[in-house]
A and B are shown apart, each in its own frame.
Chain A
Amino acid sequence: MKKVINKPESVAQETIEGFMYAYKNSHKKLENVNGITRKDLKDKVAVVIGGGSGHEPLFLGFVGEGLADGVALGNVFAAPTPNTIQEVAKAADSGKGVLFIYGNYAGDVLNFDMAVEMLEMEDVDSRTVRVSDDVASAPVERKEDRRGIAGDVFVIKIAGAAAEKGKSLDEVFEVTQKACDQTYSIGVALSPGTIPDSGEPTFTLADDEMELGMGIHGEPGMERTKIMKADKLVDRLMDTLLKESNVREGDEVSVLVNGLGSTTLMELFIANRRVARVLEEKGVNVYDMDVNSYCTTQEMGGFSITLLKLDDELKELHDATANSPYYKK
């Protein structure tokens, strides 16, 4: 795959440098590590997010008012290092503690846990929420094994809003964990993305095939099938999503239809149209819909559907003001 890059090993760093030229008025780059914070940090619980590069605008684009206060970035598809996480947390902490949010992947867990150990020695309080929304990655009995995909967006949004309201670390943690527990996603891949270094696709799919439930790094999904028309595909995905979530008739949800990189907004709207109709048929009330590409995998083709099951508390936080380079509310 042809890519606009220089040296493969500098991809993450140069991404951040480019970002900083664009957002120097609102954001601050930390020295020596691939970490960024808001410039106008407030006296409140700090929300720190992070993960591998290559999923832009996640996580880089979600630092701002009502969202995250800092982001720790790793190399392409690789977790950030413990010292990066530690530096970002220290820079963002106002003394009220830090809430970490990241996708539930082995590498992220190891590095964030190690950073937490290091921070404890420096008396920085922290709590952690691991986003685990991908219903295709494990059954509900093993929710702790589920991967985090586009559901990150909802969880970060809720945490940011709760922190902005001046809630305590424990309170921000509680409501964010609740949001995480009520967030369910499923994805489908039509074509692979590529890792910039190798230029090779991360998996292969025949021209007439798609993989249901595939992960954002190309982790295998539940089933490889022949390509289907959009409506039939959405019906299949929604069927699994509703079965594997606890969203039921009469519930109220916020929906995110997220493109994986190369799928166009036109296609996403076509999918979203069907998502809305399926939910309507099932008697699930749609409070809000967002159609965007937030959590991508380079030029991977496909999309994911995420449902956040709302209650009054989550709804209020969902509606709160948020403003970052790639997310506004």
Chain B
Amino acid sequence: MNVEAQTVNLSVAQVKEMFLYVGKQIIENKPLLTEVDSAIGDGDHGIGMSVGFSKAEEDLSQKECKSINDIFKTIGMSMINSMGGASGVIFGTLFTGGVKKLDAKETLDLQLMADIFEKSLEAIKTRGKASLGDKTMIDALEPAVEGLKESADKPVSLLEGLKNAEEKAAEGVESSKEYVAKFGRAKSLGERAIGHQDAGATTIWIIFKSMREWLEGSAANE
């Protein structure tokens, strides 16, 4: 195991760059998300996510973030205040929920990432009243969080941890195809929703995939 990789700590500036990259990837994947959502929803998930991440990019570039907490909170509030729809509150909570009442942190390591997303997951479940298997973004987020936690316990490098989370999220997206929707526009589809993946879960997978890509890219540049 690479000892250096184990101790990777991302600075505030690096975390900001990472999420700017994540936002770009989400915006680029707008057509995919629209297509996935159109199958069982009303097709606006990609548009909403793209609006949210564009606003997050704008706010992040204007704001001086002093801590990891600031970054997460800025992204979350940008989404809540710009997107609307269920995704605005839910994906906003993905970022605000994990840093609520958390002491200001200036570095992000695998353990902290696992802690933050674990708290976000709980906050989202409380707000949205959904659980695993309801064909929502939780179907990808919960396994991804499990992946982060397992990796942090071992421990492995941040990159390994993100790879693990990405893989688990992808499996979650796959599993979401088998579920009947309990929320949103797809709810009334009943059995007819089976066979289609959830759009929110797909976005979660892209978020973890993009974090992994950014980390790989930045590691290669160093």
Chain A residues with CB under 8 Å of B192's CB are 220
The verdict on B138 contacting chain A, using a C-beta distance below 8 Å, is no
**Chain A interface mostly:** loop
A106-B184, A198-B34 as given contacts; A217 in contact with B86, CB under 8 Å: no
Please measure, in the bound complex, the distance between the C-alpha atom of A76 and the C-alpha atom of B184, giving whole angstroms: 15
Chain B residues with CB under 8 Å of A79's CB are 84-86, 88
Structural contact, A107 and B87, CB atoms closer than 8 A: yes
A217-B185, A219-B188 as given contacts; A82 in contact with B81, CB under 8 Å: yes
Chain A residues with CB under 8 Å of B204's CB are none
- Measured CB to CB, the nearest residue on chain A to B39 is A203
Structural contact, B81 and A81, CB atoms closer than 8 A: yes
Interface size on B, residues (CB 8 A): 28
Please measure, in the bound complex, the distance between the C-alpha atom of A52 and the C-alpha atom of B185, giving whole angstroms: 14
Please measure, in the bound complex, the distance between the C-alpha atom of A131 and the C-alpha atom of B38, giving whole angstroms: 25
Q: Which of B153-206 contact A (CB under 8 A)?
A: 183-185, 187-189, 192
Chain B residues with CB under 8 Å of A198's CB are 34, 38, 43, 47
The verdict on A139 contacting chain B, using a C-beta distance below 8 Å, is no
The verdict on A197 contacting chain B, using a C-beta distance below 8 Å, is yes
**Chain B interface mostly:** helix
Please measure, in the bound complex, the distance between the C-alpha atom of A111 and the C-alpha atom of B42, giving whole angstroms: 18
The verdict on A218 contacting chain B, using a C-beta distance below 8 Å, is yes
Structural contact, B84 and A52, CB atoms closer than 8 A: yes
Please measure, in the bound complex, the distance between the C-alpha atom of A217 and the C-alpha atom of B187, giving whole angstroms: 13
Residue of A83, A145, A217 touching B42 (CB-CB under 8 A): A217
Interface size on A, residues (CB 8 A): 35
- Measured CB to CB, the nearest residue on chain A to B42 is A217
Chain B residues with CB under 8 Å of A76's CB are 44, 47
The verdict on B80 contacting chain A, using a C-beta distance below 8 Å, is yes
Chain A residues with CB under 8 Å of B207's CB are none
A107: shortest Cβ distance to chain B, in Å? 4
Structural contact, B43 and A195, CB atoms closer than 8 A: yes
B59: shortest Cβ distance to chain A, in Å? 13
From B38, B42, B48, B87, name the one whose CB has the most chain A CB atoms within 10 angstroms: B42
- Measured CB to CB, the nearest residue on chain A to B89 is A110
A195-B42, A195-B44, A202-B42 as given contacts; A78 in contact with B185, CB under 8 Å: no
Structural contact, B188 and A137, CB atoms closer than 8 A: yes
Chain B residues with CB under 8 Å of A103's CB are none
Chain B residues with CB under 8 Å of A138's CB are 188
User: Known pairs A106-B183, A110-B90, A198-B43. 17 more at Cβ < 8 A?
Assistant: A8-B47, A74-B85, A75-B48, A79-B88, A82-B81, A105-B185, A106-B128, A107-B87, A110-B127, A110-B128, A114-B80, A137-B188, A145-B187, A195-B42, A202-B42, A219-B42, A219-B185
Interface residues of B (CB under 8 A from A): 34, 38, 42-44, 47-48, 51, 80-90, 127-128, 183-185, 187-189, 192
